[in-house]
Amino acid sequence: MSAQALVRRGRKFDQVVAGAREVFLRDGFEGASVDDIARVAGVSKATLYSYFSDKRLLFIEVATAQCKRQADEAMMTMDLSQPPRVVLRKAATTFLGFIFSPMGQRVFRICVAESDRFPELGREFYRSGPMTLHVALVDYLKVARDRGELCIEDLDLAADQFAELCKADLWTKLVFGLRDGFSPDEIERVVDGAMETFMARYSA
């Protein structure tokens, strides 16, 4: 049974999730207490537990909702009529903006730390955001290919390659704690390199 199937929705559901998001961002998963979440949300612990039977389920809801929101915003601003250099740069900026965000970092670290005990956390998170963005990027690459702007046989592979190129040099330093953030110039340098490498391989 999925995590979502174990969650009950009701009148104060959004209120609980908003309070939980504030506490998780401030204190992390381990540091967040149910007492603090209930207090910030302005509900009783009984009300909180009536929606979420444990903190793990609440975190999954917060993380996936945040990820889905950013994925939806990215898709709304993705203009399929624009050329690859315009659309891919927008996609890169959106992608990096999320994985470098406080919530994106919290989710990644918790997914790694809790992967054995709570494998559904990673699956729910992936479905809510990364997979949505991947599908949107594949759809755009197909449109651009059909217009004769790109020459791509394996659309899924190309979409994955572009995402990995956008993380070059940055993601490893972030994961291993060498850096906790990057300047706009540093990000632009990597995005520029990703764009040039991708277009050199796939431009028609």
Cα–Cα distance, 109 to 107 (Å, whole number): 6
Q: What is the pLDDT of residues 70-129, one digit of tens each?
A: 777 777 777 888 999 999 998 888 888 878 887 777 777 777 777 677 777 777 777 777
Per-residue pLDDT at 1 exceeds 50: no
pLDDT of residue 193: 95
- pLDDT greater at residue 138 or residue 8: 138
pLDDT of residue 2: 46
Cα–Cα distance, 104 to 190 (Å, whole number): 19
pLDDT of residue 176: 85
pLDDT of residue 40: 96
Two tokens at 3?
Answer: 């995590």
145 in Cβ contact with 155 (< 8 Å): yes
> Which distant-in-sequence residues (6+ apart) come within 8 Å of 193 by Cβ?
165, 168
58 in Cβ contact with 16 (< 8 Å): yes
- pLDDT greater at residue 14 or residue 130: 14
Q: Spell out the domain ranges in the chain.
A: 4-202
> Which fold is adopted by the domain 4-202?
Tetracycline Repressor; domain 2 (1.10.357)
* Local confidence band at 7 (pLDDT 50, 70, 90 cut-offs): low
Rounded to two decimals, the pTM is 0.76
pLDDT of residue 5: 46
Q: What is the pLDDT of residues 16-66, one digit of tens each?
A: 999 999 998 888 888 899 999 999 999 999 999 999 988 888 988 888 787
SS3 content of the chain, % helix, strand, coil (to 5): 75, 0, 25
